[in-house]
Chains A and B, each alone.
Chain A
Amino acid sequence: DAGVIQSPRHEVTEMGQEVTLRCKPISGHDYLFWYRQTMMRGLELLIYFNNNVPIDDSGMPEDRFSAKMPNASFSTLKIQPSEPRDSAVYFCASSLRTPGEQFFGPGTRLTVL
């Protein structure tokens, strides 16, 4: 298995632009998680899905952030409009069950100028 796949690996954009991050979870995993890593706050959960349904989005910072999972093999995290304080590394992870081990993708490093 290729593991969790994220794209793009790096994204540089200007303030006000829309940003879409993509994730393909490991096949057969029922749970998908989006995390953000910053120096100040470490790894924070933004939202997670179970069987394509959002379960907990309490970590989504504000309405500019949205996430979708249209099917079991694809999810997106969108920021519109983006702001410089959104600059961070965004990780997607998937798991067979929870509690349990989560498998992380390589992350997308987002820079908003």
Chain B
Amino acid sequence: DQQVKQNSPSLSVQEGRISILNCDYTNSMFDYFLWYKKYPAEGPTFLISISSIKDKNEDGSFTVFLNKSAKHLSLHIVPSQPGDSAVYFCAAQTGANNLFFGTGTRLTVIP
């Protein structure tokens, strides 16, 4: 039973444009959300997080939006660059409990 879902397995975007990666969750008890980026043959690396008391968090070219009523979060990358091509995972957590990961979205930024 997947509590965190990324319904788009892949996304292609032109360099310089905006990339929007989406994530849905089912557990209303989740109160902390994270995005990770993964390159081949490497472990996931942390990108950005957001607490459930906020609806937006921004860090450089990355912005995460949280819509609690819709149980939806998204990651915006502006501008998208070829180096951003990777697999992006969203993850959710309740308090001190473990992280639940989505299945990932492969982003390809086309030069």
Answer yes or no: do A and B interact.
yes
Residues of B within 8 A of A100 (CB): 32, 49
Q: How far is the CB of A91 from chain B (nearest CB, A)?
A: 5
Chain B interface SS verdict (over half) = loop
Q: How far is the CA of A27 from the CA of B102 in the complex (A)?
A: 28
Residues of A within 8 A of B44 (CB): 43, 91, 104
- Mask: chain A, 83-101; 1 = CB below 8 Å from B; 0 = not: 0000000010100001111
Assess A93 versus B43: contact at CB under 8 Å? Given A33-B98, A48-B98, A102-B99. Answer: yes
- A105 touching B97, Cβ below 8 Å: no
**Among the listed A42, A59, A104, which residue makes an inter-chain contact with B43, where contact means beta carbons less than 8 Å apart?**
A104
| A31 nearest CB neighbor, chain B only | B96
Of all A-B residue pairs in the complex, the 8 with the closest CB atoms, nearest first, are A104-B43, A42-B103, A99-B32, A43-B101, A101-B46, A99-B93, A45-B98, A98-B96
